[in-house]
């Protein structure tokens, strides 16, 4: 097999990149190691920046998003049993965010790609990227029980944080900057209407809690738990009791309960891989960087990487110049580090530090109070949350 751009991974980054390239007339092939049903069910993100929504609209993948997505004009910060609203349009000059599940974006992009191309192979696992420094890199992969080769002009690793593309970077050219957090998130989906209209980020007595949603009848909630937590130790009643305690305020508010349909524990990590390209191999999305979910940046960063990369490829296709492609890594990394910083700050400000002392807690409170007391500080949070501009 041969193609211009070989894309490893059919998550949001790989699928959107394929769509953008296809619309520019650049041929590509997507290799996805998992089955379609698995990729379409994997529960993950839900909060989309304005730029992410715009990108999906521009490539004709937003019909269902426009019909079913929930537009949010702010979030609530809850601490010390009080609620404080951050109003995005007022603080950012009109920006909003949209709640629409990553699973639904993936379903929409897969349906479009299977109907209109380019080729998308499920259960096609990439084993290695060979000769990334050459003019003709190759992806070695297994499909239908046979090992095969995909010859490419360029390869893009959109294969997530456990992918193989990173492994093709020689150790001497790649730096990995990482930070592990001493807590995880227990996430649930529940068949109950959300108890709030906007997302609530709470710093409660036993730690952090987040109230999000998927639709007017499905709630998505998260609880800070210790690393190594087993979901079996968290029967439904214990989860609801703990969530209720962490969201509690002085005043009239109640967390509605309902049947829990999914439970999972996710550890939290920040990691940036520099540079994001080597020879003719590029990394995009979680393959290049991961952030803790507190700032809701992971999916949005994956989308902004592939928007930049698609523009670099479009420029090359139109003019034959590799000038933009040569600067892909620098074009992305400034924004990546800003999102990494924002996610780190949000995480540290809202989670209870195990073995943290009173001084840590007072610092957290001082940060939260500054945001709720100063329009300038709130505007800084709102600008980062709704998404910083793209470099291109
Ligand atoms: P993905 O989604 O991991 O997709 C990578 C794909 O590559 C495939 N793959 C391979 N294919 C072929 N050969 C191989 N050798 C392969 N190895 C792997 C995998 O099967 C997979 O299909 O990466 P991508 O596309 O970069 O997308 C990134 C996002 O998925 C991720 O950043 C977000 O989900 C993070 N995230 C959130 N991001 C947001 O912007 N807003 C949120 O509200 C938000 N909430 C979250 C989140 C992540 C969470 N978890 C579970 C980590 C909430 C949670 C709980
Ligand atoms: C989600 O809806 O899954 C979600 C929303 C906001 C976050 C993280 C996750 O910060």
Give tens-digit pLDDT for 241-267.
999 999 999 999 999 999 999 999 999
Give residue 98 CA to ligand 2 midpoint distance, Å. Answer: 11
Fill in the DSSP letter of residue 72: E
Report the 3 state secondary structure along 170-231. Answer: CCCCCEEEEEEEEEEEEEEEECCCCCCCCEEEEEECCEEEEEEEEECCEEEEEEEECCCCCH
Probe ligand 2: pick from 187, 199, 294, max atoms within 8 Å of CB?
199
Q: Which of 125, 155, 151 is nearest to 3 (CA)?
A: 151
Per-residue pLDDT tens digits for 34-60: 999 999 999 888 999 999 999 999 999
Buried b (16+ CB within 10 A) or exposed e, 351-370: bbeeeeeeeeeeebeebbee
pLDDT in tens, 356-368: 899 999 999 999 9
The percentage of the chain sitting over the pLDDT mark of 90, rounded to a whole number, equals 97
Residue from 6, 7, 8, 9 to probe ligand 1 pocket by mutation (most atoms less than 8 Å from CB):
9
Catalytic residues: 72, 201, 293, 297, 385
Q: Measured from the CA of 34, which atom of ligand 1 is nearest? A: 20
Residue 120: name the closest of 282, 8, 41 by CA.
8
Residue 84 — very low, low, confident or very high, per pLDDT cuts 50/70/90?
very high
pLDDT reading at 90 higher than 90: yes
CA of 168 to the centre of ligand 1 (A): 20
Q: Indicate whether residue 158 lines ligand 1 (CB < 6 A).
A: yes
Nearest CA to ligand 1 atom 45: 45
Whose CA is closest to atom 2 on ligand 2?
A: 46
pTM: 0.96
Whether the CB of 43 sits within 6 Å of ligand 1? no
pLDDT digits (tens, 9 = 90+) for 262-290: 999 999 999 999 999 999 999 999 999 99
Kindly list the structural domains of the chain, giving each domain's residue range(s) and its CATH number in brackets, ordered by start: 5-72+97-176+269-353 (3.50.50.60)
- Closest ligand, as measured to the CA of 109: 1
Is 349:368 a contact under the CB 8 Å cutoff?
yes
Q: Which atom of ligand 2 is nearest to the CA of 346?
A: 10
Q: Are 146 and 273 in contact (CB under 8 A)?
A: no
Q: At what angle do helices 298-319 and 50-58 cross, to 10 degrees?
A: 40
pLDDT bracket for residue 83 (50, 70, 90):
very high
């Amino acid at each position: 097999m041969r193609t211009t751009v070989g894309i490893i991974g059919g998550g949001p980054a790989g699928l959107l990149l394929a769509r953008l390239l296809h619309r520019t007339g650049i041929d590509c092939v997507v290799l996805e190691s998992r089955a379609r049903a698995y990729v379409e069910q994997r529960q993950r993100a839900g909060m989309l920046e304005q730029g992410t929504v715009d990108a999906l609209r521009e490539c004709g993948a937003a019909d269902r998003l426009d019909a079913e997505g929930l537009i949010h004009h702010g979030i609530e910060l809850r601490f010390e049993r009080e609620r404080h609203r951050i109003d995005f349009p007022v603080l950012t000059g009109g920006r909003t965010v949209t709640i629409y599940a990553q699973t639904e974006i993936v379903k929409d992009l897969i349906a479009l790609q299977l109907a209109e191309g380019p080729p998308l192979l499920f259960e096609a696992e990439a084993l290695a990227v060979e000769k990334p420094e050459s003019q003709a890199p190759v992806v070695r992969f297994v499909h239908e029980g046979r090992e095969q080769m995909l010859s490419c002009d360029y390869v893009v690793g959109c294969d997530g944080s456990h992918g193989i593309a990173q492994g093709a970077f020689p150790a001497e050219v790649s730096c990995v900057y990482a930070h592990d957090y001493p807590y995880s998130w227990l996430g649930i989906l529940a068949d109950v209407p959300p108890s709030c209209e906007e997302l609530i980020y709470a710093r409660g007595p036993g730690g952090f809690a987040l109230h999000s949603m998927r639709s007017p009848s499905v709630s998505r909630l998260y609880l800070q738990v210790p690393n190594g937590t087993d979901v079996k130790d968290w029967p439904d009643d214990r989860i609801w009791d703990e969530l209720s305690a962490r969201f509690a305020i002085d005043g009239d508010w109640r967390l509605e309960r309902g049947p829990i349909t999914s439970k999972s524990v996710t550890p939290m990590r920040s990691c940036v891989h520099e540079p994001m390209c080597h020879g003719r191999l590029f990394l995009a999305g979680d393959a290049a960087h991961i952030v803790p979910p507190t700032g809701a940046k992971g999916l949005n960063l994956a989308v902004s990487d592939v928007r930049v990369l698609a523009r670099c490829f479009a420029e090359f296709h139109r003019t034959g110049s590799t000038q933009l492609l040569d600067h892909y890594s620098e074009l992305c990394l400034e924004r990546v580090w800003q999102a990494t910083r924002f996610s780190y700050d949000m995480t540290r400000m809202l989670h209870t530090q195990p073995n943290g002392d009173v001084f840590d807690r007072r610092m957290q409170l001082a940060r939260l109070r500054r945001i709720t007391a100063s329009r300038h500080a709130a505007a800084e949070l709102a600008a980062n949350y709704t998404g910083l501009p793209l470099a291109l």
